[in-house]
Chain A
């Protein structure tokens, strides 16, 4: 039983999420292949070949795949699909964009955001913003799956010796074209993969005030996050949002500052190992999930905490 993992990358670097998906793939079958679809992706393919547990890397290199347009990437996956019993994507913006397109073309259901592999056809996944866990069984010949990366420990990035094979890149669909991209520049670790996350909520009061989280994040080597309320109020950029509709994180340490703890937000962080809440409202729901709560004014407590670490 061969399992195909679709690599997450930016044409230059293999993204860590891929290693988590390979870990999930190993729980399904022993023959794990990785598809790297993009343009100028030789370095990425070599990195994927070094990942532990990968037996083959398929490199599809072509201009049609440069910007990861869903129409073209889906066609590329479909060209290979007949050799696999399972095709796994990371549940990232890219994976979620492409996977259902592949599933519908194969006329199979897709299983979204799995958090465990029970057997080759049975998986668990959260529903209702993580307030219930469904165990689902697929009766389809090919299982198309997106994997919640934070639920699987990544395989080692080094040590593997997979062969790299080239596959012809698909022709451009002509249906869509890439116009431009604006990426937020940051020296901090990526939110989804960070070992520590410091998040601010509406209690921060302004975008300016978010800066007081920076010394604390620096001390902890943490990524910065935000609640939807803070993002909607314009205090923090969209891609900082942690929650059901933003990113799902599960760091070692999650520090929630001025965040009340709405269902939507908890769905994105309640699997963190240790949760610290700093909030002046002792009744805030966030204290219901926090391992350590501090009822205090964040404007005093946060700088004090940064200094004390």
Chain B
């Protein structure tokens, strides 16, 4: 079974981004970029499936600028066998990415696609579901456990209020939640090996996909700033403030 794992290059999760003064977006020039944390979990899961014998090949995919090659190298250092970059400088929205991924799925014929549940930059939480819809495949979002048995996948999902288990007919789409696994650290020898693994580049045109953005971003602004609070001396003072000033208790 072949597994396809889409990964995204995003601003590192530790970076506190700043909004540009002209309100056109956030300033990501010269900030640290990394693989989206949920995608790391996806690559780790695919690699574990391969290690357990359930998967035979893991293909990592990224869509975006040329620098996304670094993200693909990281995926291959974790365990992906090869990777494909869909290179474009156009701003990609989830629907466009889902269409690009569909074109790659048609070509690669994987039995399973594992994506992160959301990217920490646009916080959209859409691509996996959209890809499932375009392919007419079943989906299991927010997965915290994945078991493959024959032509079925049994997936435990994190839902509001608890956990739910569903069974999908393969081929299928899974999106990862945080607790699916703990991604491994990449080791230096694996980083070196990853440099020799194949990385193909294609363009949206070659895949026959129109990636023009559908949503227009009119502006990006700072969120409202909370006014500075006070540090109280003790519990009695805190109770007094809550009762008499904030009037919330």
Contact = CB atoms under 8 A, between A and B. Distances in A.
A128 B11 contact: yes
B230 A180 contact: no
A19 B26 CA distance: 33
Nearest to A78: B133
Contacts of A125: 123
Majority secondary structure, B binding face: mixed
Contacts of B128: 100
Interface string A59-71: 0000000010111
A181 B165 contact: yes
Interface stretch (B65-73, B153-161, B185-193): B153-161
A97 B163 contact: no
A190 B160 CA distance: 10
Contacts of A102: 133
Nearest to B123: A127
A295 interface: yes
Contacts of B195: none
Nearest to A184: B162
Interface stretch (B53-61, B83-91, B104-112, B236-244): B236-244
A93 B175 CA distance: 13
Interface residues of A, number: 89
A273 B134 CA distance: 41
Nearest to A137: B216
B236 A290 contact: no
Given A110-B94, A110-B126, A293 B160 contact: no
A136 B138 contact: no
Interface stretch (B43-51, B74-82, B166-174, B200-208): B166-174
A173 B19 CA distance: 44
A289 B228 CA distance: 7
B162 A100 contact: no
B62 interface: no
Contacts of B22: none
Contacts of B13: 263-264
B221 interface: yes
B125 A100 contact: yes
A103 B130 contact: yes
A136 B164 contact: no
24 contacts: A70-B139, A93-B142, A93-B159, A93-B160, A100-B94, A110-B126, A112-B123, A122-B218, A127-B122, A128-B123, A129-B120, A131-B223, A137-B216, A180-B164, A181-B163, A184-B161, A190-B161, A232-B178, A238-B179, A239-B161, A292-B231, A292-B241, A296-B234, A305-B235
Interface of A: 67, 69-71, 74, 92-94, 96-105, 107-113, 122, 125-140, 173-184, 190, 192, 196, 220, 228, 232, 238-239, 244-245, 247, 252-253, 263-264, 270, 273-276, 282, 287, 289-296, 301, 304-305, 308-309
Interface of B: 11, 13-14, 16-17, 19, 26, 93-95, 98, 117-118, 120-134, 136-142, 144, 154, 157-169, 172, 177-179, 214-223, 226, 229-232, 234-236, 238-239, 241-242, 246, 248-249
Given A110-B130, A138-B214, 13 more contacts: A96-B125, A97-B139, A131-B223, A133-B220, A133-B223, A135-B221, A139-B215, A177-B166, A178-B165, A192-B160, A228-B178, A245-B117, A245-B178
